[in-house]
Amino acid sequence: MRHTEFTKTLEEALASEGKVALPNIVRLTDHADTVKRLSSMWPYTGKLPYRLLVSRSLAPSGTHMVTKAIYWPKVFLHTDGMASRFDGSGIILGGGEAFSFNMCEHKWDCSGANHSRGWHPKRCTECGFDASIDSGD
């Protein structure tokens, strides 16, 4: 998946009421860790609310949610890079539970760095997401 498709994929999954899978859904059970992760995320401000179907049990593959109960979810997006763009991962709160999703297991290419000049390149070789930081002159 290309990083340019992250938002579209998220919106399709939310609007589909559980029919379209979000990649790498994981139920979060460590509340302290979940709160810590949420504190560095931004609420999704797109076209909400969507209904989201969340089940008590994940599909065997762990890649999507089984449809059983309907909740109005709260969606939080993780951002990265200078422009703080959505990096494809986030957390969904619904039905008293928290789920993380991750559209790309980023593999960072940080070659070409010039740290003394404030140039910290960081580009995913899988999806092309650019999380580079240029803090130089």
Stretch that binds Zn ion, among 16-24, 58-66, 69-77, 128-136 (CB under 5 A): 128-136
Which one, 5 or 11, has the nearer CB to Zn ion?
Answer: 5
Q: CB within 8 A of 61, min separation 6: which ones?
A: none
Which one, 37 or 106, has the nearer CB to Zn ion?
Answer: 106
Query: Is there binding between residue 25 and Zn ion (CB under 5 A)?
Result: no
Stretch that binds Zn ion, among 36-44, 52-60, 78-86, 116-124 (CB under 5 A): 116-124
Stretch that binds Zn ion, among 29-37, 73-81, 115-123, 125-133 (CB under 5 A): 125-133
Q: Which residues bind Zn ion (CB under 5 A)?
A: 104, 106, 124, 126-127, 129
